[in-house]
Amino acid sequence: MNQDAVPASSVSLPGLVNILYRGRRLVLLATAAGLVAGLAYSFLVRPLYRATAQVRPGIVSYSDFGAPVREWALKDIVRWFRTDLYWEDLRQLEPFAERKGPPPILADHIPEGPQYQQGGDVITLTCLDADPLQAVAILRTAIGSFNSQASQDSLGSTMHLTLGGARVRMEKIRNDIVQIEAARERTRLDIAARERALDLLEADERRLALRIERLQGERAWRDSAALT
């Protein structure tokens, strides 16, 4: 066995430098190719800008327990945007007339709002586009399209929910009126009881004054009788 043999796993710095020096052309060529590819990507590929909007389905009434009743469920609104139903209105606009397909809009919802406030359900809409102004215009047009189509498709539902909410509110108002009437009657009875107590107190004061006056008269008579 040769005792001077170098183990295969050992790496020396001079040997590594020698390898890089012998392959310097390949290293320089790879570096130049990466630099050219990066410059070409930065010039040819336009950056994407993000536009976001947060929407909340409107409350049309309240339940007996005070919970909000919404005309549209969150999952239905998310499904409406994910199925590109806004494209029917968007494609009629001049900036999108030449576009072959709908611009994608990401829709997701937050189950609860900040600090667990009632009615905090929020849907976040996100649009990516090379033009930031166009991304904003896409979101605004899509939201307007939803409002327009929703008002046409759910007019009967809106009226039904609104009437239901009105009945709940009217019943609550009736209960409030009954409670107010009961409170007013209790207040009237309390005032009458206090007035009777004041009358009794005044009668006691008059009796006490008469007794004091009588006692003073008796004392004056005794004093005059003692002097004579």
Q: What is the mean pLDDT of the chain?
A: 76
What's the whole-number mean pLDDT along residues 108-117? Answer: 60
What's the whole-number mean pLDDT along residues 66-77? Answer: 73
Strongest mean pLDDT among 55-59, 97-101, 133-137:
133-137
Share of the chain above pLDDT 90, in %: 2
pLDDT interval class at 1 (50, 70, 90): very low
pLDDT interval class at 226 (50, 70, 90): confident
User: Which H, E and C letters describe the chain, residue by residue?
Assistant: CCCCCCCCCCCCHHHHHHHHHHCHHHHHHHHHHHHHHHHHHHHHCCCCEEEEEEECCCEEEECCCCCEEECCCHHHHHHHHHCCCCHHHHCCCHHHCCCCCCCCEEEEEECCCHHHCCCCCEEEEEEEECCHHHHHHHHHHHHHHHHHHHHHHCHHHHHHHHHHHHHHHHHHHHHHHHHHHHHHHHHHHHHHHHHHHHHHHHHHHHHHHHHHHHHHHHHHHHHHHHHC
